[in-house]
Amino acid sequence: MENALQGKRILLGITGGIAAYKSILLLRLLVQAGADVKVVMTPAARQFVSPLVLATLSKQPVLVELAEGDTWANHVMLGRWAHLMLIAPATCNTMAKMAHGICDNLFMAVQLSATCPVMLAPAMDEDMWKHPATRRNIQTLAGYGYQVLPVATGALASGLHGEGRLLEPAAIFDAVQSFFSHSQRLKGKKAVVTAGPTYEPLDPVRFIGNHSTGLMGIEIANALAMAGADVTLVSGPTHLQALPAVKTIPVQTATQMLAAVQEVFAETDIAVMAAAVADYRPAVVADQKIKKANDELSITLVKNPDILAYCGAAKASHQLVVGFALETNNELLHAQEKLRRKNADLIVLNSPNKVGSGFGSATNEVTIITADSVTEWPMASKHEVACKLVNLVADKLERLQF
């Protein structure tokens, strides 16, 4: 993956937001990795970051105006020159203009005439990020085939805390690297991914659930989409969102999750079952809230369908099925047994005992188990684990088909 950017031509679009200072570091990372980067910025972005710095780091003039003196910037050729247009930060205003094809400065003209893939990293205040207008604009941009990266959560320029921060330069750089390294490896392939917990209702207000956040599965769905696959994510309740290019089907229970997977499984090439599905559900769901009465209350549970086992049993020879295992004892033996019993091609073993792994953690240390191999992967962010897993899946799929 180290040289994925060598010689790649990247048009770095910078728009006017406080987060624009991070684009200096991003530019440095891209240049250091061997990319040929030209910077195009909106007039407003000049207030946040100096063109002199950007021109020095990129070793190219920075483009801002459509015409300067008697020189006209050829926006059409810029969009054709680039292998990728990367917009970071993408402000709310610029995204709104992009969604509607407004062309009132050089940056807008370049992106409107760009024939290369476009990736954007949004940055704005949480309320703007969550506004229905922004949500709709992002859907529109995703519909144009643009890759919209997620935002981070944390301190915002407003002084508030929440969603809307620009991803850190290293995370945007990773996304660019994976774009070039397994760019479109899975084009034409279909995938289904399950993620998150399931909520099994006891009555109208209570449920049996677990602490899964859905992050690992969502990262996998995103990485599959970045590799060009057509991805359906069947997600239990979570506040996290996948990339707009991922078709998300929200569900609550294991039964609903199975039904959603069954709808699409026959047409998929890859199934990754990363959800933490409840093994049992209450046999009876009370119509009304269960009243406090006796000192003890017994609830009868019945077994839930096993979605991974369904995929393993139904899979054809061209389909690849990946499961997860979360074990607290005899980890390897149990995971290998799971691989056989559920007829999966690959099991990703998580160990909740390891610091920095499992539910709620941003990192994961996993072991990859196949019928004939056991490979330990070092601790890495869930994003990195997802990208590596998708590369492995693409390798295996290629082998299945030849």
- Number of residues lying near ligand C5P (CB under 6 A): 16
Is 330 among the residues known to form the active site? no
54 vs 272, beta carbon nearer ligand C5P: 272
Distance CA 146, CA 144 (A): 6
Supply the angle between the helices 22-32 and 51-58 in degrees, to the nearest 10. Answer: 10
Stretch that binds ligand C5P, among 97-105, 301-309, 350-358, 363-371 (CB under 6 A): 301-309
Q: What is the distance in angstroms between the CA of the first residue and the CA of the last residue of the chain?
A: 24
Backbone Cα Rg of the chain: 23
DSSP label at residue 261: H
From 213, 241, 304, 391, residue interacting with ligand C5P (rule: CB under 6 A): 304
Nearest distance, CB of residue 392 and ligand C5P, angstroms: 16
What is the amino acid identity at position 275? A
Nearest distance, CB of residue 303 and ligand C5P, angstroms: 8
Measured CA distances, 66 to 70, 78, 286, 318 (Å): 11, 12, 66, 51
Classify each residue of 160-178 as buried b or exposed e, where b means 16 or more C-beta atoms within 10 Å of its C-beta.
Answer: eebbbbbbebebbbbbbbb
Under 8 Å between Cβ of 174 and 384 = yes
Nearest distance, CB of residue 257 and ligand C5P, angstroms: 8
The answer to whether residue 308 forms part of the interface with ligand C5P (CB under 6 A) is: yes
From 174, 323, 387, 389, residue interacting with ligand C5P (rule: CB under 6 A): 323
Query: What tokens does 246 get?
Result: 């991922």
From 39, 62, 246, 254, residue interacting with ligand C5P (rule: CB under 6 A): 254
Nearest distance, CB of residue 237 and ligand C5P, angstroms: 15
The answer to whether residue 369 forms part of the interface with ligand C5P (CB under 6 A) is: no
The answer to whether residue 129 forms part of the interface with ligand C5P (CB under 6 A) is: no
Nearest distance, CB of residue 363 and ligand C5P, angstroms: 19
The answer to whether residue 338 forms part of the interface with ligand C5P (CB under 6 A) is: yes
Binding mask 144-183 for ligand C5P (x = CB under 6 A): ----------------------------------------
Distance CA 364, CA 181 (A): 22
Range 339-345 contact pairs with CB under 8 angstroms and sequence separation of 24 or more: 339/369, 339/370, 339/371, 340/371, 341/309, 342/306, 342/308, 342/309, 342/312, 343/309, 343/312, 343/313, 343/315, 344/308, 344/311, 344/312, 345/320, 345/321, 345/370, 345/371, 345/396
State which of positions 264-283 bind ligand C5P (CB under 6 A): 273-275, 277, 279
Q: What angle do CA 380, 383, 385 make, to 5 degrees?
A: 50
Give Cα 126 distance to the centre of its chain: 19
Closest alpha carbon to 228 in 178, 169, 171: 178
The answer to whether residue 306 forms part of the interface with ligand C5P (CB under 6 A) is: yes
85 vs 339, beta carbon nearer ligand C5P: 339
From 15, 23, 194, 391, residue interacting with ligand C5P (rule: CB under 6 A): 194
- The catalytic residue among 74, 93, 137, 210 is 210
The answer to whether residue 307 forms part of the interface with ligand C5P (CB under 6 A) is: yes
The answer to whether residue 324 forms part of the interface with ligand C5P (CB under 6 A) is: yes
Nearest distance, CB of residue 275 and ligand C5P, angstroms: 4
The answer to whether residue 253 forms part of the interface with ligand C5P (CB under 6 A) is: no
Nearest distance, CB of residue 221 and ligand C5P, angstroms: 13
Sequence-separated (6 or more) residues with CB below 8 Å from residue 54: 14, 23, 24, 27, 39, 41, 62
177 vs 235, beta carbon nearer ligand C5P: 235
Which residues lie near ligand C5P (CB under 6 A)?
194, 254, 273-275, 277, 279, 304-308, 323-325, 338
Which residues are known catalytic residues?
210
